[in-house]
Amino acid sequence: MLKRLWLIFGPLLLASLLVFLLIFFYPENPSHNLLEEKYSAAAASTESFKERSQKVRAFTDPNMRFVPFLGSSEWIRFDSMHPAVLAEKYNRSYRPYFLGQAGAASLNQYFGMQQILSEIENRQAVFVISPQWFTEEDYEPASFQNYFNNDQLTAFLENQEGDIAAKHAAKRLLKQNPGLSMRGMVEKLSKGEELTEVDHTIINLFARFNERQASLFGQFSIRGQLKYKEHVENYLKDLPDQFSYDALEKIARKDAEENTTNNDMGMENHFYNTQVKKDLKKWEGYQKNYNYLKSSEYNDLQLILNQFAKSKVNVLFVIQPVNKKWMDYTGLSEDMYQKAVQKIRYQLESQGFTNVADFSKNGGDPYFVKDTIHLGWLGWLAFDKAVDPFLSNPKPAPTYHLNERFFSKDWATYDGDVKEFQ
């Protein structure tokens, strides 16, 4: 009987063991390849967002300074003024590495950052904030889980310091992913309890396995070549060889004029046809009751700020606008929107994050926004005017002054004068 069972299951067990050993002992750091790194940097895919090894490979390349550009879906709004195109055309001293997807906000970015803490320490970053992240409704758990993996989990458990940030992150993780592995350890952190030596041993073991697994399978997960050719290389020939904002603005205006002919909202034709036109009537007044002043996102944003401060990252924050015509049509309150921006800026600037490019009032400028909420054409040029000087002349991070009150429910729900918040 035992012999028969071994004949049936033995080969399967041996194969599983061999796979485990292959993963566990696979080299952690693949060799550098600048072209492949450019592909993964511009892929702006789910895989490139949450997978570790390709990010680590790019950020450790001694021959090119890849800079994390963190945000959400704005990175896939490619045109001739997109930051990836300008950086490549004019051979900038850096290349953007785009980290973000639709539906991702601060919480996903925080756990993704845990995979690259040593790579971003004492460096620079660009972080795009969309005020529409700050909704009264919480993350959809499915959206969060789509960009989360076990490697992020073990990286978080390895890096946590048992402070208020770890406690908040653990609570949020349990809420957004209640079926996660190693739940017992996360629950300990959520209660402010210390992890045992046995816990740390288990974490280190699984962390090593996850890192090796990322190295083995990550090389197959990034399919950025075609996207790079389509989204970056195809635009290079349209730009002047000699850099000039005046010349670029003329090209951007012409491009925008030719691609916004089928609607009066200044939206790109294709986006309007596929995303708006069919349900246009449904959107009228749709956002009149939206409120971005009360949201758990403010607490999640503090996780990001805490991590940037701990890692001594000099970061430029960019605040996106909303298409003014769309705002008026859907009934979104501009007064409320600007108060939310003030609240965001207060949370940033009062803690020393004073590098802020605020485009929240540019939503009515022609060709500044490509669709309803994303930069495009002249918006990307304004973005470049803020980002390029910041990255081309790198400076160490300033002294940050973190305030734990920004983790409180009082702050998350506060809708008064920010200067009076105690």
The answer to whether 333 and 289 are in contact (CB under 8 A) is no
248: pLDDT strictly greater than 70: yes
The answer to whether 378 and 369 are in contact (CB under 8 A) is no
133 in a structural domain: yes
Confidence at residue 21, expressed as pLDDT on a 0 to 100 scale: 41
Name the percent of the chain lying above pLDDT 70.
Answer: 90
CA distance 39 to 66: 12
201 in a structural domain: no
Confidence at residue 262, expressed as pLDDT on a 0 to 100 scale: 96
For 339-374, write each residue's pLDDT tens digit. 999 999 999 999 999 999 999 999 999 999 999 999
DSSP string, 395-420: ---------GGGGSHHHHT--S-GGG
165 in a structural domain: no
Q: Which of 390, 386, 402 is nearest to 308 (CA)?
A: 402
| Interval 92-99 mean pLDDT | 97
Alpha-helix runs per DSSP H in 287-407: 297-310, 324-330, 334-349, 378-392
| Interval 252-277 mean pLDDT | 96
Q: What is the CATH number of the domain that holds 343?
A: 3.40.50.1110
| Interval 206-210 mean pLDDT | 91
Residue 368: give the domain boundaries: 33-138+222-257+286-420
Confidence at residue 405, expressed as pLDDT on a 0 to 100 scale: 96
Q: Which of 145, 37, 162 is nearest to 101 (CA)?
A: 145
125 in a structural domain: yes
CA distance 387 to 129: 14
For 371-383, write each residue's pLDDT tens digit. 999 999 999 999 9
Calculate the average pLDDT of the chain. 91
Confidence at residue 24, expressed as pLDDT on a 0 to 100 scale: 44
17: pLDDT strictly greater than 60: no
Confidence at residue 223, expressed as pLDDT on a 0 to 100 scale: 55
Q: What backbone phi and psi angles, to 5 degrees, belong to 393? A: -125, 70
269: pLDDT strictly greater than 70: yes
H/E segment holding residue 146: helix 141-146
221 CA to centre of own chain? 18
The answer to whether 302 and 406 are in contact (CB under 8 A) is yes
Neighbours of 205 (CB within 10 A): 12
Q: How many domains, the chain?
A: 1
Q: Which residue has the tokens 């850096």?
A: 94
Per the DSSP assignment, residues forming a β-bridge with 66 are 95
318 exposure class (CB count in 10 Å sphere: 0-12, 13-18, 19+)? buried
185 in a structural domain: no
Q: What backbone phi and psi angles, to 5 degrees, belong to 149? A: -145, 175
375 in a structural domain: yes
144 in a structural domain: no
209 in a structural domain: no
For 273-330, write each residue's pLDDT tens digit. 999 999 999 999 999 999 999 999 999 999 999 999 999 999 999 999 999 999 999 9
Q: Specify the DSSP class assigned to residue 322.
A: -
Confidence at residue 73, expressed as pLDDT on a 0 to 100 scale: 92
H/E segment holding residue 227: helix 225-228
**In 3-state terms, the chain is what percent helix, strand and coil (to 5)?**
55, 5, 35
Confidence at residue 314, expressed as pLDDT on a 0 to 100 scale: 98
Neighbours of 127 (CB within 10 A): 25
Q: Backbone dihedral region of 285: left (phi > 0), alpha (psi from -120 to 50 degrees) or beta? A: left
- In one letter, which amino acid is 316? L
